Structure 1
Amino acid sequence: MSATEEPHITVDNTMGAAFIGVICAASLYGVSCVQTWFYFNRYPGDLWYIKCLVAIVWLFDSIHQALISHTVYFYVVTNFNNVSEQANLVWSILLEVLFNGLIGFVVQSFLTMRVWKMSNQNKPLTVLIVLFVLGELTCSVAFTISSLKLVTWMDLTHLKSLSMTVNVLGAVADVMIAAGLFYFLHRSRTGFKKSDTMISKLIMFTVSTGLLTSICAVASLLSILIWGKTLIYVAFYFSLGRLYSNSLLATLNARKSIRGLNDGDGGNVSFSLQTFSNKLRPSRRNMTMAPNQTNISIKIDTTQELIRDKATKEKDFESDITDVGRSEDTSEAV
């Protein structure tokens, strides 16, 4: 290539990466479908807006899977030997960026609310995360609008910086959410073996789901930097939305399993994780908790006798970490 020639993306030689990405995304889509079915069957009593959240994520997931499948079919099957058509952009690969961004926005907003509640409404931290989440969505929308005006793959190279920004903002937001939840969960340790074991499991679960999306976003970003003239990056980006949806569904579906860790315990003392983070200081809110608020509790075996108010005898306090779907305002529950 001479110095005066413009770079181009060799779609015919790199569509195999996109094909692999579609297969991986389809496999994860099957998992999300099973998790969605499992959620609606196991948690029929969840509040309506949590059910709507799951339904919306599954809908966006389905649309995104249809779009990327159409993209690969268009280049690999319909126009397999049509070189001139393969040099042009198909609308589906441009529109999928928007739905990937929407899935990430919904899931990250849900997780940001968990950070907000776990941090006792830490405004600076929450606002910082929100800025990154909104920034990622804004860049995804801007990329989609700008790219729909383009014709060829060569034209798409002009939006490389915007594509990289989307991945950077998404990865930073995921890391901040995972780190925030890790910190506040770790700070909630009590010294009791039962509760600390549960907190350790929650930390492992939270960090693993958060880092998966971060790793995928970073892999997509590095692929753009190293192999910018190919479609290798889409092998990671196609699966990013599926990882977001599965992390949300796994969080919601794990609530009864985590609650089951307390089954069979002999102790009848229950504390809230947010109470731990407040250094076990009593609060008047605890005495006026509404009867219909049901969050996950951590029961601790102890030989100490604790004098408790009659109101607290009637209801175990429960954490809002993994049962946000069962409370209108979990921040008032602790």
Structure 2
Amino acid sequence: MIADTLHQALIAHTVYTYLITNFGNALELGNTVWSLLAEVLVNGFTAVFVQSFLAHRVWQLSNGNMWISIPAYLLVAAEFVSVFVFAVIGLTRVHTFVELAEILKGLSITVNVLAAVGDTYIAGLLTLLLHTSRTGFRRSDSIINKLIIFSINTGALTSLCAIASMLSILLAPETFIYISFFFCMGRLYANSLLATLNVRSLIRKEGSSNVQASGDTGSIPLGAYNTSVFNPPSAISVKIDTRREYVSDQEEQKHSESMRSQMDLA
């Protein structure tokens, strides 16, 4: 929330500088404003927070499998380092948009490539881990299916935005089209995180309602026995509660007579 609010404040400062402070001054439109370049750094903070949260989910669902978790963390770290270098160079060496296109074009492409690859990798791993965690129970599998769809949707939005920004730099480097896509990424990350947190309560309510409807009092936590391709299944024990009833001879005789009368009617 702090990063998103700061991002909006920087946007307001940039717009105010160009449209109010320098109203009618066309020459000033060629110069960069410090708040415009600072937005890149704030976007980087938002991205690293959200991607780290999702990468941690990969680590949890894989039961701490470092072989697949470490690449996710490395992609997140590499993207943030690239954004940080971009912001530092932009704030210290860049004063016009011509210099911005000449000096930072390579870093801009790198940032967008890392963002697209990182989002796709994390979303793909979450989808695979959830898919291979199916239990065979309709209630839990229904919840897993919704989590898979949600993981794909959230990862696809940020990935497509990063790809659009990268293609804009390559195909139209003399325009500011790529800036519009890049600055949308921070908002998409923030909203995807909020949606991820909010959907938990909906899924829990659905799970509890299904439990009450079916009369099943057991819970099926995903992390309790995640049997994905990265974690072979271990021994599974099943507990069955039984009930023994004692019936008297008279009650047994009445039951037999009742059954015979039903057979006769049939």
Q: Which TM-score applies when normalising by structure 1?
A: 0.66
Say which of 10, 14, 17 aligns to 1:74. 17
Correspondent of 1:153 among 84, 94, 97:
97
Cα distance, 1:280 vs. partner? Answer: 6.2
Q: Deviations over 1:135-164 (max 9, x none)?
A: 111011101110112211111111100011
Aligned to 2:257: none
Distance 2:23 2:171 in 1: 27
Q: Which moved more, 1:79-88 or 1:274-283?
A: 274-283
Residue 234 of structure 1 and its aligned partner are, at CA, apart by: 1.4
**Could you say which residue in structure 2 is the equivalent of 1:267?**
216
Q: Once the 2 structures are TM-superposed, how far is the Cα of residue 74 of structure 1 from its aligned partner?
A: 2.1
CA contact (8 A) 2:82 2:107 kept: yes
User: Any stretches of 5+ residues in structure 1 without a counterpart?
Assistant: 1-57, 284-303, 309-334
RMSD value, Cα = 1.9
Q: Secondary structure at the match of 1:306?
A: coil
Alignment of 1:54-65 (within 5 A): 58-65=1-8
Counterparts of residues 35-184 of structure 1 (less than 5 Å):
58-149=1-92, 150-157=94-101, 158-184=103-129
What is the rounded CA distance, in whole Å, between the counterparts of 1:132 and 1:228 in structure 2? 25
- What does residue 233 of structure 2 align with? 279
User: For 2:69 and 2:149, how far apart are their aligned partners in 1?
Assistant: 22
Give the superposition deviation at 1:307: 5.3
* Residues 251/281 of structure 1: CA separation in 2 closer, same or farther (3 Å cut): farther
CA distance in 1, matches of 2:164, 2:18: 24
Q: Which residue of 2 aligns with 1:52?
A: none
- Structure 1: 4+ residue segments shifted above 4 A: none
Q: Distance in 1 between matches of 2:7 and 2:107?
A: 20
Alignment TM-score, normalising by the size of structure 2: 0.82
Instruction: Provide the C-alpha distance between the structure 2 equivalents of 1:125 and 1:97, rounded to a whole number of angstroms.
Output: 28
CA contact (8 A) 1:68 1:238 kept: no
Flag the 1:81–1:196 CA change in 2: closer, same or farther, 3 A.
same
Instruction: For 1:270, give the aligned amino acid.
Output: S
Where does residue 222 of structure 1 map in the other structure? 167
Shift of 1:81: 2.3
Higher helix share: 2
Select 1:191's aligned residue among 109, 114, 136: 136
What amino acid maps onto 1:306 in structure 2? I
Q: Deviations over 1:171-204 (max 9, x none)?
A: 1111111001000000011222211111101111
Determine if contact 1:111/1:177 at 8 Å carries over to the other structure.
Answer: yes
User: Does the 8 Å contact 2:10/2:35 carry over to 1?
Assistant: yes
In the TM superposition, residue 279 of structure 1 has moved relative to its aligned partner by: 3.1
- Offset from partner CA, 1:6-51 (integer Å, 9 cap, x none): xxxxxxxxxxxxxxxxxxxxxxxxxxxxxxxxxxxxxxxxxxxxxx
1:36-77 CA distance string (max 9 Å, x none): xxxxxxxxxxxxxxxxxxxxxx00100011112222332234
- The amino acid that maps onto 2:47 is G
How far has the Cα of 1:85 moved from its partner?
1.3
What secondary structure does 2:31 align onto? coil
1:115, 1:177 within 8 Å by CA — same for their partners in 2? yes
How far apart, CA to CA, are the structure 1 residues paired with 2:184 and 2:56?
A: 24
- Alpha-carbon distance between aligned partners in 1 of 2:240 and 2:221, rounded to the nearest angstrom: 15
Query: Does the Cα contact within 8 Å between 1:70 and 1:92 map onto a contact in 2?
Result: yes
1:254 to partner: Cα distance: 1.6
- For the pair shown, the structure with the greater C-alpha radius of gyration is 2
Assess if the C-alpha contact under 8 Å between 1:213 and 1:243 holds in 2: yes
1:63·1:99 contact (CA, 8 Å) conserved in 2? Answer: yes
1:76 & 1:185 partners in 2: Cα distance?
49
Q: Which amino acid aligns with 2:4?
A: D
- Quote the Cα distance in structure 1 between the aligned partners of 2:11 and 2:240: 59
Alpha-carbon distance in structure 2 between the residues aligned to 1:88 and 1:276: 54
- 2:233 and 2:220 mapped to 1: Cα distance? 12
Structure-2 separation of matches of 1:241 and 1:223: 18
Whole-Å Cα distance in 1 between the matches of residues 131 and 201 of structure 2? 21
- For the residues of structure 2 that align with 1:121 and 1:261, how far apart are their CA atoms? 28
